[in-house]
Each structure stands twice: as C-alpha cells, then as structure tokens.
Amino acid sequence: AHRRAQRRGATKETTIEVSVDLDAPWCEADLPSGAQGAWTGNVMTSTTLTATVERTARIKTGISVLDRVLTELVRCAGIQVVVHCEGDRHIDDHHTAEDVAITLGQCLHEALGDKAGLARMGCAEGAHAAARCRAVLDLSNRAHFESDLSLDEEYVGGVDGEVVALAFGADGADVGGSESSSSPCDAICGGVLSSEMLHHVFLSLTMELRATVHLEVLEDSGAPGHTLDIALAASSAFGAALASASKLDPRRHGVVASSKGTLSQ
C-alpha cells in the first residue's frame, strides 16, 4: 500500500496543512530554488502540470530558518512532504514551530502504519560546515527524545539585536520602507527561529512520530552562528536515520521487527 497521510487544521494561532508521501522520492525541485524554476512557461498537459506542481517546493512556514531545517530533514529522508503554515509570527515563533512539528510528526506516524516489515531502526550522521551530529532513531511507538545540542545562542545562527538595528535603525523606525513589517518583532520572527524552539521542534516531532530518538553533537566549532550549523547537521542526521528506519526490509517478510510480534500502541 502507498504510505501517505495528510492533515489540515486551523486554530486562533495557526492555519496549517501538512502531507507526507513516504514512497514518492524527494527531488531537487523540492528545494525553494527548484520551486521557482520548475515551470519553464511551456504549455503543459494537465497531467504534466499536476506532476510539476506536486514536485515543487512545498515547505513554507513563514520562518525561513525552520524552512531550511525541515527541507534538510526531508531531503535526507528522501520523501515528499508538503508543509503550509500561516501563524501568529507577529507574537513569536512558538505556535508556528510547534504546530508544524506536531502535525508533521502525526502525518509521519500515520503514513508509517503498523510498521510491519520495516527495518524499524536507523543510525546516521549529518554534517554542515564545522558541525557534525549523529541521530539514532527507533520507530518503537515509545516516544522519547534525548539530545545534547549546544544551543547557546538565543536565535539559531546567532541573530541578535544587530538585525533590528539594520532593519529599523537605532530608533526602531523602519529604514527599509516596507509596509509589511511594522515592528522589530516582525523582522526577527519572520526569518529566524529561536534556539529554544529548535529543540522543541525536534522534541515535538519525535513525540508525535512516537519514536525513540537520540541526537548527539560529535563536532562543533562553537563559533558565532554555530547553532545554524548544528541545526542543519542534526536535521540531516535525523532525516537519514528516518530513511533507514522506514525502509521495507525483505528479511522481515512483512512481520513487525519486535520479539513480541507487535509494537506498543
């Protein structure tokens, strides 16, 4: 059976749509740059047009750093994912990041089904610049998350008050003339992710995926901005471990990888 799931929802904080297809391969057009160049302007049949639209980038949360983290995870997992979210980013990044992670985890769990015949476990490393991370993942239905991610900067990538000064001037006035940005909070929350919420994203994703996940930092420069390198390395490792764990193992002959013959419910 084709392994896919989709969820939509709306609250006072967010409007969200997420879909997951574990058996449709990720492709370069799933990158934001690929989305812009996927259609050349040539006349297409309805079938070709649908196929093109379906493979273009679909991770749009309104938080560019979160988009990068999720895109890296999906790329290394080798799956197709759609994430659309409109959230109350004028307040902060909490509701958007949390709801995206929760809904994505729920879709992944649903798409994986009873996990019969799956390898179930995966271990992988990911690297970005000077950072290297390892992820150990077990699709156990026992939700547990551990990590030692060194998130010692307020924002992923080390964004600080300088961004506000550049965007709004010393007195807080918008020097860019943008009508869409009305406060320094808009500039921060519209582009970056707090380090606290990065941890929460991995935690919420793991809990709703109902997996056991351990993330470990193997190398880290500690230089200013190193938290972005850690975030992308951890995402790569998480995605690659998920790819290994979710693969069908022919040696299982369709049986759940458990001595009990079933996983915890």
Q: What CATH number has the domain bearing residue 213? A: 3.30.230.40
- Model pLDDT for residues 26-71, shown as the tens digit of each residue: 665 555 444 444 444 455 455 554 554 444 447 989 888 999 999 9
Question: Would residue 165 count as lying in a domain?
Answer: no
Question: Would residue 171 count as lying in a domain?
Answer: no
Question: Would residue 135 count as lying in a domain?
Answer: yes
Residue 179 CA to residue 104 CA, distance in Å, equals 32
pLDDT value at residue 43 = 52
Question: Would residue 174 count as lying in a domain?
Answer: no
Question: Would residue 166 count as lying in a domain?
Answer: no
- Model pLDDT for residues 92-143, shown as the tens digit of each residue: 888 999 999 999 999 999 999 888 888 889 999 999 999 999 999 999 899 9
Residue 230 CA to residue 36 CA, distance in Å, equals 27
- The residue segments making up the domain with residue 78 are 4-40+48-157+192-252
- Model pLDDT for residues 223-265, shown as the tens digit of each residue: 988 999 999 999 999 999 999 999 887 666 555 545 455 545 5
Question: Would residue 167 count as lying in a domain?
Answer: no
Question: Would residue 216 count as lying in a domain?
Answer: yes
pLDDT value at residue 145 = 98
Residue 52 CA to residue 65 CA, distance in Å, equals 25
Q: What percent of the chain has pLDDT over 70?
A: 69
Tokens of 232: 């992308």
Question: Would residue 200 count as lying in a domain?
Answer: yes
Total domains present in the chain: 1
- Contact between 210 and 137 under an 8 Å Cβ cutoff? The reply is no
